[in-house]
């Protein structure tokens, strides 16, 4: 039986919202009573992915707010998950398992663990991504 958390947190760009996004949100909510979702600003995405989202931030935020699995949406304007924990006080951070064992997340996991927070990796939905959708359109 999986652990049930009081407050969970996950983040994403959620550009061209697709089934993979929905799966992550559903799986996260199944494991917590209250799910907070950080939606990345356009500026943050430009800075760390070197591209501009197709759907503007306010529209992406409104889409995520409308999802029944989401209890609260916050602005993600930096990548510092420990700073987010200071503000939001979650006891689990959910992320797609495509980042598992990366240097960035191994380091983050240690910092979260020291604060009593679990890093929970959820299955990535194979065969779908916003990048793949854009490539499929030929643009």
Token pair 């996004």: residue: 21
Q: What Å distances lie between residue 79 and 26, 44, 48, CA to CA?
A: 22, 8, 9
Q: How confident is the model at residue 1 (pLDDT cuts 50, 70, 90)?
A: low
The mean pLDDT of 23-42, rounded to a whole number, is 97
List C-alpha distances in Å: 77 to 11, 83, 89, 119: 11, 11, 17, 20
Per-residue confidence (pLDDT) for residue 47, from 0 to 100: 95
Mean pLDDT of 13-34: 95
Say if strands 32-40 and 72-76 run parallel, antiparallel, or are unpaired.
parallel
At 21, is the pLDDT very low, low, confident or very high (cuts 50, 70, 90)? very high
* R_g over Cα of the chain: 15
pLDDT tens for residues 72-129? 999 999 999 999 999 999 999 999 887 787 777 888 999 999 999 999 999 887 776 6
Q: Which residues are catalytic?
A: 49, 51
Interatomic CA distance for residues 112 and 74, integer angstroms: 19
44-58 per-position pLDDT tens digit: 999 988 999 999 999
No. of helices (H) and no. of strands (E), the chain: 6, 5
- Domains of the chain as residue ranges with CATH: 5-137 (3.40.50.620)
Q: Is the pLDDT of residue 139 over 70?
A: no
| Token pair of 1 as six digits | 């039986």
pTM: 0.90
């Amino acid at each position: 039986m999986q652990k049930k958390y009081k407050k969970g947190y996950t983040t994403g760009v959620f550009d061209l919202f697709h089934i993979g996004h929905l799966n992550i949100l559903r799986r996260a909510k199944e494991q917590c009573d209250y799910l907070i979702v950080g939606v990345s600003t356009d500026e943050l995405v430009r800075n760390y992915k070197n591209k501009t989202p197709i759907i503007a931030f306010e529209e992406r935020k409104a889409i995520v707010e409308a999802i029944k699995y989401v209890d609260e949406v916050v602005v993600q304007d930096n990548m510092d998950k420990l700073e987010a924990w200071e503000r939001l006080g979650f006891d689990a951070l959910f992320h797609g398992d495509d980042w598992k064992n990366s240097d960035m997340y191994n380091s983050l996991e240690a910092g979260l663990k020291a604060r009593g927070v679990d890093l929970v990796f959820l299955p990535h939905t194979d065969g779908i991504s916003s990048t793949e959708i854009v490539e499929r359109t030929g643009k």
